[in-house]
Amino acid sequence: MAGPLDGLRVLDLSSVVVGPVCTGVLAEQGAEIIKLESPEGDLLRKLGGKGRNPGMAGKFLNFNRGKRSICLDLKHPRAKDVLRRIALRCDILVTNIRPDAQKRLGVDAATMAEAAPRLIHCSIVGFGTDGPYAGKPAYDTVIQGVSGVAGCFEASTGEPRYVPMLVADHVCGLIAAQQIGFALYRREKTGRGESLEIPMFENMAGFVLQEHLGAMSFRPALGVPGDLRVLSPEARPLKTQDGYICVSANTDAQAHGFFDAIGRPELKTDPRFATVTARTANTKDYFALRATALTGRPTAEWLDLFTRYDVPAMPYNTIESLLTDPHLRATGMVREEEHPTEGPTFAIGAPNKLSGGMAPPLPAAPRLGADGPAILEAAGFSADEITELAQHGALKTTTGETP
């Protein structure tokens, strides 16, 4: 059994999060990923916090499982040709290098399409090249701010903030992989590759608008924008006697079950709370009522009660407690692993199940340049050429040590 992308080769000219998420998904489904890094290495190697060795931060490990690393100095005159020879052997090229820099390296979509008509060239950009923000530099927080993600918090609490995750990078990386899948399907039909442009701003603005344009979808607007239930500042896990619990009671049956569970059956016929429409109109009161309803019992008791009344409810997890969550352990989403160079670590598994076959669990993330010679050999470079490239400094090879 192999993953659906088994046999495909991907050149990953990306760094930090958005590109690595995309190629991480492709790896998880069986593709071979050639991660090309500069001599400084992917910035996440350092920016990703603590590690046992320099350049091997925990966050880097978790975004780069199942990839092979080659380290080329693209400023070296011979590296451009090496890059191109590798690229020509690939099915997919993923990059978040800015379009003008892609051109300088000779790996932009137009140049590659001529030489490799079956290549799927995926360029992740901050802003679409067909609009006035084209070419502006972009990072996750900039995108969160300009796309309205931070604006959702202002609509909720009066103060803008970013989601405490690289949500724009992460989501757009997932979308890039998604669009690559569609292009692969089309390539089977047409025999031809194509170029994809994934603009982060447009994707995240679309995400926010779908969620929250709401009453402002109409011209003239029927009211303020925003799904008021979702924007409620009380949209949070509910306090119990000994912690928090996560409850969702949307349908009438669930809301009525909740009222029964908390010993307030009279609310089932209260005109403010009896129906979906009424609760939506009285979101503030409904959420306020819920916020204080559960402090009298511990979480475990509430979980039992809500199960009995068929109200969706689950324990609240911190980042730490995910590691001991019984479901994540049982499904292999969290497992213990011996990293070949970094020692004992936790490994994060593949979440989705495909009956047609899945790739085996992925090997751990590589040190900078660890696979360079092997990648070049597979690309048809002779042993002499590889040695020469290393001697000239175009190819950086590791000797077990990190930069």
Q: Which of residues 278-307 bind a copy of itself (CB under 8 A)?
A: 280
> Which backbone phi and psi does 312 adopt, to 5 degrees?
-60, 120
Q: Give how far Cα 319 sits from Cα of 194, 322, 328, Å.
A: 40, 6, 13
Q: Which of residues 360-389 bind a copy of itself (CB under 8 A)?
A: none
- Residue closer to a copy of itself (CB basis): 76 or 136: 136
Q: Is residue 191 within the footprint of a copy of itself (CB under 8 A)?
A: no
The piece of 82-90, 223-231, 262-270, 379-387 that touches a copy of itself (CB under 8 A) is 223-231
Selection from 124, 259, 275, 261 nearest residue 204 by Cα:
124
Closest CB to a copy of itself among residues 106, 237: 237
**Residues 99-128 contacting a copy of itself, CB under 8 A:** 109, 127-128
We find the least distance from the C-beta atom of residue 81 to a copy of itself, in angstroms, to be: 26
Determine which residue in the list 90, 92, 107, 155 makes contact with a copy of itself, applying CB under 8 A. 155
Least separation in angstroms between residue 391's CB and a copy of itself is 29
Cα–Cα distance between 28 and 357 in angstroms, integer?
12
Q: Which of 70, 138, 370, 379 touches a copy of itself by CB under 8 A?
A: 138
Q: What is the rounded CA–CA span in Å between residue 275 and residue 258? A: 13
Site membership for a copy of itself, residue 403 (CB under 8 A): no
Q: Give the 3-state secondary structure of residue 72.
A: strand
Query: How many residues comprise the chain?
Result: 403
From 13, 18, 25, 293, residue interacting with a copy of itself (rule: CB under 8 A): 25
Instruction: Measure the CA angle with vertex 281, ends 308 and 250; round to 5°.
Output: 25
- Considering the complex, state which of residue 89 and residue 229 has its C-beta at the smaller distance from a copy of itself: 229
316-355 residues in contact with a copy of itself (CB under 8 A) are: 316-323, 325-328, 330-331, 333-334, 336, 342-346, 348-349, 351-355
Q: Is 234 exposed, middle or buried (0-12, 13-18, 19+ CB in 10 A)?
A: middle
Q: Binding segment for a copy of itself among 151-159, 259-267, 370-378, 389-397 (CB under 8 A)?
A: 151-159
Q: How many CB atoms lie within 10 A of CB 14?
A: 26
Taking the complex as a whole, how short is the minimal distance between the CB of residue 261 and a copy of itself, in angstroms? 14
Q: Which stretch binds a copy of itself (CB under 8 A): 72-80, 224-232, 292-300, 374-382?
A: 224-232
Q: What residues between 55 and 84 interact with a copy of itself by CB under 8 A?
A: 57-59, 61-63
Stretch 26-45 residues interacting with a copy of itself (CB under 8 A): 29, 43
Closest to a copy of itself by CB, 246 vs 274, is 246
Between 82 and 347, whose beta carbon lies closer to a copy of itself?
A: 347
Q: What is the closest distance, in whole angstroms, from the C-beta atom of residue 108 to a copy of itself in the complex?
A: 12
Q: Which of 100, 114, 188, 384 binds a copy of itself (CB under 8 A)?
A: 188
DSSP strands (E only) in 47-192: 67-72, 92-95, 120-125
By CB under 8 A, is residue 177 in contact with a copy of itself?
Answer: yes
Distance, in Å, from the CA atom of 118 to the CA atom of 334, rounded to the nearest integer, reads 37
Q: What minimum distance in Å lies between the beta carbon of 390 and a copy of itself? A: 27
**Residue 297 contacts residue 262 (beta carbons within 8 Å):** no
Look at residues 224, 199, 96, 202 and name the one whose alpha carbon lies nearest to residue 147: 202
Here the tokens at position 322 are 């995910």
- List the structure tokens of 161: 């903030």
- Residue from 69, 156, 299, 402 touching a copy of itself (CB under 8 A): that is 156
Buried b (16+ CB within 10 A) or exposed e, 65-83: bbbbbbbbbbebebbbebb
User: How far is Cα 190 from Cα 6, in angstroms, rounded to an integer?
Assistant: 20
**In the complex, what is the shortest distance from the CB of residue 286 to a copy of itself, in angstroms, rounded to a whole number?**
13
- Cis peptide preceding 220, ω within 30 of 0: yes
